[in-house]
Amino acid sequence: MRDTSLLQLALGIVPPWTVRGSDFDPKVRRLDIHIDFAVGSRFACPSCGAADCPAYDTEQMTWRHLNFFQHQAYLHARVPRVRCSQCGIKKLSVPWARPDSGFTLLFEALVMALVSAMPVNNVARLVGEHDTKLWRVIHHYVERARAGTDLSAVSRVAIDETAARRGHNYITLFVDIGQARVVFATEGKDAETVAAFADDLAAHNGDPEAVAEVCIDMSPGFIKGTADSLPRAAVTFDKFHAVKIINDAVDRVRRAERKVHKLLAGTRYIWLRNPANLSERQHAMLQSMPLRHLKTARAYQIRLAFQELYEQSSAKAGAAFLKRWYFWATHSRLPPIIDAARTVKRHWDGILRWFHSKIANGLIEGINSLVQAAKAKARGYRSIRNLTAMVYLLAGKLDIKPAA
């Protein structure tokens, strides 16, 4: 078998395309395969599909292909523009690559498989291509998959923000709780962000008015955004966020009291944890303290009690419990706890909504770890756009179909 026939079979190239020849240079570890079409070949029109269009002119093009063993491989071909009697002069697309891509479909499929498994920078080094070229491939497949995604069933949404770069920009994730996947991710964390989600939902066959339940933190931006853009949604305030507000108040009480009670030094993490999660050493430390005389200990008890809200058997029991808790907290004579209790009061209905919706952002823990993985894989990602593409790829359950 001649090497051209072998390459032709291996590449799956069919007439009118043929492999005309190849140059192999082991010194530069490179295989160049030259593809051509026979003089007088006829092609189907890329617009209307009409058969038997003649070539009008050609453009020489090159594509990176899968390695030939350890050698980089490139395909070369002159790509014709064809003359269609209906459509005029149209550039042909070749069967082995997308228009405007410098990679073959198989090479792109390899890239998409690799970037799901390791950081894009590492993939770039491995295949010997600049990462911006790989990001272009990732964006293409992610955008194409997102364009085809159907969001008509989205009715319960968890909204959560995550820092995109340490301390700087934020991206907000919109998770369809029904399918446990990120359906939208965008820069920012305010009312506009929620409006952008509603637009995107409508653009993908979804209906902002069909969103019945939303879980958010207590930030005014998300509250306003939900009211403006998801008008029929009942709001549940994320229980982890609510507990965190009380927890922060406990920490403020401890910081103030530490100035008079030296034994509180080094106890910060004891008060931030639940008793069941304390180490033996922390437990012993806690037992050794004059708990009845410490404001911090009282604040801690109030926080533990708040958590019991979520163990109440019904919405009615929950509401009665929260009322008693509020009375206790506001009579604690601990200003940070009183502040936190007032915050709870202002978000009363949304906190109690949990008894109906039973949704919390913590339920999307699996999603959070995928988002962390996306951040790691997009390390040095250069832009928020790259990060969001990686979030979609890993946490979006998209139907990515390279080489199709």
Contact 253, 261 (CB under 8 A): no
Q: Which stretch binds Zn ion (CB under 5 A): 47-55, 102-110, 159-167, 363-371?
A: 47-55
Least distance in Å: CB of 86 to Zn ion?
A: 4
Please report whether residue 86 would count as binding Zn ion according to CB under 5 A: yes
Please report whether residue 274 would count as binding Zn ion according to CB under 5 A: no
Least distance in Å: CB of 147 to Zn ion?
A: 24
Please report whether residue 45 would count as binding Zn ion according to CB under 5 A: yes
Residue number, 87 or 363, with CB nearest to Zn ion: 87
Least distance in Å: CB of 48 to Zn ion?
A: 3
Please report whether residue 82 would count as binding Zn ion according to CB under 5 A: no
Please report whether residue 84 would count as binding Zn ion according to CB under 5 A: yes
The answer for residues whose C-beta is within 8 angstroms of residue 238's C-beta and 6 or more apart is 158, 160, 215, 216, 217, 360, 361, 362
Q: Which stretch binds Zn ion (CB under 5 A): 84-92, 98-106, 202-210, 373-381?
A: 84-92
Please report whether residue 48 would count as binding Zn ion according to CB under 5 A: yes
Least distance in Å: CB of 51 to Zn ion?
A: 10
Per the structure block, which two tokens stand in for 291? 């708990």
Least distance in Å: CB of 218 to Zn ion?
A: 58
Contact 195, 142 (CB under 8 A): no
Q: Which stretch binds Zn ion (CB under 5 A): 50-58, 73-81, 160-168, 359-367?
A: 50-58
Residue number, 5 or 86, with CB nearest to Zn ion: 86
Least distance in Å: CB of 95 to Zn ion?
A: 18
Please report whether residue 47 would count as binding Zn ion according to CB under 5 A: yes
Please report whether residue 369 would count as binding Zn ion according to CB under 5 A: no
Least distance in Å: CB of 50 to Zn ion?
A: 5
Question: Of residues 44, 61, 66, 87, which one binds Zn ion by CB under 5 A?
Answer: 87
Residue number, 86 or 383, with CB nearest to Zn ion: 86
Per the structure block, which two tokens stand in for 16? 């009118």
Residue number, 46 or 188, with CB nearest to Zn ion: 46
Contacts to Zn ion by CB under 5 A: 45, 47-48, 50, 84, 86-87
